[in-house]
Amino acid sequence: MIARYRLALASLALALASSVQAEPALPPPYAGAYQPQGVDEQGLWREMDEEERRYSQSDIMIRDQALNAYVRKVLCDTVGHDRCGATRVYVVRAPVFNAGMYPNGMMEVFSGLLLRVRSEAELGAVLGHEFGHFEARHSLKGLMARRSGGDAMAWAFVLANLAPTYDVVRTYRDLQLTIIGNYFRFSRDQEREADALGIAYLNTSTLRPQAAAQVWERLIGEYQADALSKGLKKPRLDRVAFYATHPPQVERATTLALLARPDGATRDDGAERYRAALAPWLPQLLADQIKLNDFGASEYIIQSLAETGWTAPLWHARGELYRMRGAPRDLVNAAEFYGQAIALDPVHAEAHRGLGLSLLKTGQRAPGQQALRRYLTLKPDAPDARMIGLMIPQEMSEP
- Report pLDDT for 3: 45
The lowest-confidence range among 6-10, 192-196, 316-320, 359-363 is: 6-10
The answer to whether residues 192 and 259 touch, using CB atoms and an 8 Å cutoff, is no
**pLDDT of 165:** 53
| Closest-CA residue to 160 (of 149, 174, 178, 147) | 174
Give the 3-state secondary structure of 137-196.
Answer: CHHHHHHHHHHHHHHHHHHHHHHHHHCCCHHHHHHHHHHHHHHHHHHHHHHHHHHHHHHH
Q: Is 99 helix (H, G, I), strand (E, B) or coil?
A: strand
pLDDT tens digit sequence for 68-112: 999 999 999 999 999 898 899 999 999 999 998 888 888 999 999
157 pLDDT more than 50:
no
Q: Look up residue 152 and give its amino acid.
A: A
Largest CA distance in the chain: 90
Q: Which domains does the chain have, with CATH numbers?
A: 35-264 (no CATH), 281-397 (1.25.40.10)
**Angle between helical axes of 282-290 and 312-325 (0-180°, round to 10):** 10
- What's the pLDDT band for 363 if we cut at 50, 70, 90? very high
pLDDT digits (tens, 9 = 90+) for 200-247: 999 999 999 999 999 999 999 999 999 988 888 777 666 655 445 567
Q: Is pLDDT of 172 > 90?
A: no
Give pLDDT, residue 288: 96
Residue 38's pLDDT band (cuts 50, 70, 90): confident
CA separation, residue 361 to residues 274, 330, 368, 385 (Å): 38, 11, 9, 19
pTM of the model: 0.82
